[in-house]
Chains A and B, each alone.
Chain A
Amino acid sequence: MGHEHKLEILRGLIKFKSNTQKIWGVLILLSIVTAVEVVLGIYKPEALMTQVLSMKLLNWIFIILTIVKAYYITWDFMHMRDETKALRRMVVWTAVFLICYLVFILLQEGGYIEGVYSSGFVKRDF
């Protein structure tokens, strides 16, 4: 088995010379993303507190940054980038589809129950 690695990230914007170098590069990228998350989490800028799609903009940013991190961990640390297209789709599409489905149903239901509580049909604040 030859172990060829695709050495470019960010759609070819950054191209590394060796696999080891790419690993350190990805580490720097992940650290930066985490640092941004932590700083935003501590200071919580007022401007990002607006509601977008029934959630705070800040929370959307956190979720998007998390998915970015998950992408680089899977693609570069777990070598998904070097696997065949079929294996990649089998793993990623299955998981993404099922997770989205589950999250949608549960959050929808949770929001509905919250509505029942807050519209006063059930008293629980005593």
Chain B
Amino acid sequence: MSTTVVNTGTEGKTWGGGNEPLKASYGKMMMWFFIVSDALTFSGFLAAYGFSRFKFIESWPIADEVFTHVPFLHGQELPMIYVAFMTFILIMSSVTMVLAVDAGHKMNKTKVTWYMFLTIIGGLIFVGSQAWEWATFIKGDYGAVQTKGGNILQFVDTDGHRVALGDFVVAEHKDRTAHERKNGLWFVDEGTLPTYTVDEVIKGLESHENVLVRTQIINEEGEKTVLSRAESLKQIKENGKAVVEGANLYVNEYGSPLFADFFFFITGFHGFHVFSGVVINIIIFFNVILGTYEKRKSYEMVEKVGLYWHFVDLVWVFVFTFFYLV
């Protein structure tokens, strides 16, 4: 097509093409726009969390009482410490990422390689920590009784310290076994049965004078309401329906099941972002080692991946605030 006209006569003019008014490459700009849309997705989730929380403002679980565990420190109540550690790990891996980008600008392959490596390690520690958080949350620690209306009744002693079900309830012999597909209807399944039944909890409560029931309702001091001894027995006997140990998408021993649902969904979605970030970082890491960006004479790819990685950190800052602090 030698007759094709290639000159438009507008070269060098504003609309002549080849102009970059934003002084950013196509890839970088698209990464920014993706980040905006992803930020809106996350805000949608967090706003929905806020909606449910405002809806149940008088009975929402207190995060400080839920996330109190630190690995290797059993039985100690250390709220926030582990999440703070996770936050620091993620910020730290953001720092190594931005150092990798900086080294990339200086075309320093060795430094980029090392900083990318450290970033990946940080990401893996974070994902591992999150898996541990999930496991602890699913397992639960004290156990509770759910009422007919879906409220959660927890147990405390007369000093207000939490009491685990195992401390005052005795499991008796049960004829009821968990229904499995292999010994009943093959298309019906049921989860693990709780260790205790409601009747056993009632017996345990009757024989332990110092155990009281604590409801979900938050009083004026910002603490959960503790019932009197008579009220406690009445509540459990009249309304107790199921024993709850730990948390899943249906029940949650810490309070509203919605809290568990949002926890799994939002931290899960964020954890998935971290996981994909780690995978992308590993791909870029190998590209760096293979010298792809040396040949390209630009480490801009590291910068683009860096934007995504920082965004994951940015989201965590908000998740941290709204799930653990506020």
Contacts and interface: CB of A to CB of B under 8 A. Distances in A.
Interface of A: 1, 3, 19-20, 23-24, 27, 30-31, 34-35, 37-38, 41-42, 49, 59, 62-63, 65-66, 69-70, 73-74, 76-79, 83-84, 86-87, 90-91, 94-95, 98-99, 102-103, 106-107, 109-111, 113-114, 117-118, 124-126
A30 B43 contact: no
Nearest to B308: A78
Contact of B310 (A20, A24, A42, A78): A78
Size band of the interface chain B makes with A:
35 or more
Contacts of B23: 83-84, 87
Of residues B22, B52, B58, which shows the largest number of chain A Cβ atoms within 10 Å of its Cβ?
A: B22
B148 A126 contact: yes
Interface in B111-147: 147
Contact of A73 (B79, B88, B92, B314): B314
Of residues A19, A78, A79, A114, which shows the largest number of chain B Cβ atoms within 10 Å of its Cβ?
A: A78
B91 A107 contact: no
B40 interface: yes
Given A41-B79, A41-B80, A66-B317, 11 more contacts: A1-B298, A19-B102, A23-B95, A79-B303, A95-B36, A98-B43, A107-B51, A107-B54, A117-B55, A126-B147, A126-B149
A114 B324 contact: no
Contact of B51 (A19, A34, A74, A106): A106
B313 A49 contact: no
B155 interface: no
Contact of A102 (B22, B44, B52, B313): B44
Q: Interface on chain B toward A: helix, strand, loop, or mixed SS?
A: helix
Contacts of A118: 58
10 contacts: A27-B95, A42-B79, A78-B307, A79-B101, A79-B303, A83-B23, A87-B24, A87-B29, A109-B51, A124-B149
Interface in B281-326: 298, 303, 306-307, 310-311, 313-314, 317-318, 320-321, 324-326
A77 B98 contact: yes
Interface in B140-165: 147-149, 151
A125 B151 contact: yes
B317 A69 contact: yes
Interface string B178-193: 0000000000000000
A125 B149 contact: yes
A67 B253 CA distance: 32
A94 B38 CA distance: 13
Given A77-B94, A103-B43, A109-B51, A91 B36 contact: yes
Interface in B29-75: 29, 32-33, 35-36, 39-40, 43-44, 47-48, 50-58, 64
B44 A31 contact: no
B99 interface: yes
Contacts of A94: 36
B16 interface: no
Contact of B35 (A91, A98, A110, A124): A91
Contact of B88 (A31, A59, A125): A31
Contact of B47 (A66, A102, A113): A102
Contacts of A76: 98
In the complex, the 10 A-B pairs of residues with the closest C-beta atoms, listed nearest first: A110-B54, A126-B149, A110-B51, A106-B51, A66-B321, A3-B105, A106-B47, A38-B84, A87-B22, A99-B43
A86 B310 contact: no
A95 B318 CA distance: 14
A24 B96 CA distance: 10
A85 to B, nearest CB: 9
A37 B102 contact: no
Given A62-B325, A78-B311, A114-B54, A106 B99 contact: no
B87 A34 contact: yes
A114 B58 contact: yes
B55 A113 contact: yes
Contacts of B105: 3
